[in-house]
């Protein structure tokens, strides 16, 4: 009698990394591993958690494991910037998420904003060194952030000239600083899933109400740091506008499988802020919340990402 039992696929879940978002990545990794080891996924996958700090050791570990699919759950440096994606391309194994170029484009807030602005999407005004002279007498407050970075690490709202250099130095710890006009308003985020190639769909919109001044690192990852409402209690018109803009960002930046774009609704207008190509997957992260609102479980969600990668 022939043994027709299906061979389990080996899934390497990458987490950790060398950047400042390492702890969040480890938490995301644990949540993904849990989902891939739950329910019917148990019979489909052998899940191999691969935590690392030094990228130079990653290739040799992957060669020993020889996974069928790699599931990176890395944030910030060597996660969303295209570097790990380039390594995985060399490795020649299917991996979940956007490819090298899309990852690098989305990570760069200046380039991604210019690309979306060229498509008619409103973006915050960039404050150049020359325009900083009249900033606090005209535009008012500004926001300083790393040009490449995530999880709001190194981000400051500046309301007076004397604090500007301090904020720039804080952002420089994560890389090149970016200064933009500060827009106060309602904050929204919207995920996009692309299980079938070329057929992305928008998740329910989430409104974020931070308990602090803005949606900073603590508000994102500490329990009770913010109130997140999914689906957002807004008009159908605004919901559709946010979803259409999220889908447009996913397309323009050439994202794959999953992305999450952030917006602010200020003075009656919607502004695009940034796109995350490897969003947080912790139990309190925004994509898992939106997935639940879309009537999908985390095990089903992670399984569908794996299957999309194999197509």
Residues 188 and 205 sit within 8 Å (Cβ to Cβ): yes
At 197 the pLDDT is: 78
Residues identified as active-site: 21, 151, 221, 260, 262, 274, 276, 280
Report the SS3 class of residue 282.
coil
- Kindly give, in sequence order, each residue whose CB lies less than 8 Å from that of residue 191, ignoring residues fewer than 6 positions away: 202, 203, 246, 258, 259, 260, 279, 286, 287, 290, 291
At 1 the pLDDT is: 37
At 214 the pLDDT is: 52
Q: Could you give the CA distance from residue 70 to residue 64 in angstroms, rounded to a whole number? A: 13
Count CB atoms within 10 A of the CB of residue 284.
17
Along the 311 residues of the chain, how does pLDDT read in single tens digits? 344 457 899 999 999 998 888 999 999 999 999 999 999 999 999 999 999 999 989 999 999 999 999 999 999 888 899 999 999 999 999 999 999 999 999 999 999 999 999 999 999 998 865 455 455 544 468 888 888 765 566 788 887 777 888 888 888 887 788 888 888 899 999 999 999 877 999 999 999 998 766 544 454 545 556 799 999 999 999 999 999 999 999 999 999 999 999 999 999 999 999 999 999 999 889 999 999 999 999 999 999 999 999 98
At 155 the pLDDT is: 86
List of domains in the chain: 9-96 (3.40.50.20), 106-124+183-277 (3.30.470.20), 132-181 (3.30.1490.20)
At 212 the pLDDT is: 60
Q: Report the C-alpha dihedral over residues 86, 153, 267, 109, rounded to 10 degrees.
A: -30
At 117 the pLDDT is: 97
At 150 the pLDDT is: 55
At 111 the pLDDT is: 94
């Amino acid at each position: 009698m022939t043994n027709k039992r299906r061979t389990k696929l080996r899934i390497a879940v990458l987490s950790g990394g060398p950047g400042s978002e390492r702890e969040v990545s480890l938490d995301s990794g644990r949540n993904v591993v849990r989902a891939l080891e739950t329910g019917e996924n148990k019979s489909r996958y052998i899940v191999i958690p691969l935590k690392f700090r030094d990228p130079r050791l990653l290739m040799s570990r992957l060669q020993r494991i020889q996974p069928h699919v790699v599931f990176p759950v890395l944030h910030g440096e060597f996660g969303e910037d295209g570097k790990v994606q380039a390594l995985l391309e060399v490795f020649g194994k299917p991996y979940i998420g956007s490819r090298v170029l899309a990852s690098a484009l989305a990570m760069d807030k200046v380039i991604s904003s210019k690309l979306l602005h060229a498509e008619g999407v409103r973006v915050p005004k960039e404050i150049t060194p020359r325009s900083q002279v009249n900033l606090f007498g005209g535009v008012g407050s500004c926001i300083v952030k790393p040009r490449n970075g995530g999880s709001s690490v190194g981000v400051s709202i500046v309301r007076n000239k004397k604090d500007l250099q301090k904020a720039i130095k804080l952002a420089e710890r994560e890389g090149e600083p970016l200064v933009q006009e500060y827009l106060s308003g309602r904050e929204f985020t919207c995920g996009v899933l692309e299980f079938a190639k070329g057929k992305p769909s928008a998740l329910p919109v989430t409104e974020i109400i931070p308990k602090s001044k803005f949606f900073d690192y603590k508000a994102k990852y500490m329990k009770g740091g913010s109130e997140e409402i999914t689906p957002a209690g807004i008009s159908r018109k605004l919901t559709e506008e946010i979803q259409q803009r999220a889908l447009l960002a996913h397309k323009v930046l050439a994202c794959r499988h999953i992305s999450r774009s952030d917006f602010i609704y200020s003075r009656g207008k919607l502004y695009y802020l940034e796109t995350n190509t490897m969003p947080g997957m912790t139990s309190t992260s925004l994509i898992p919340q939106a997935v639940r609102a879309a009537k999908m479980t985390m095990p089903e969600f992670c399984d569908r990402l794996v299957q999309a990668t194999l197509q």
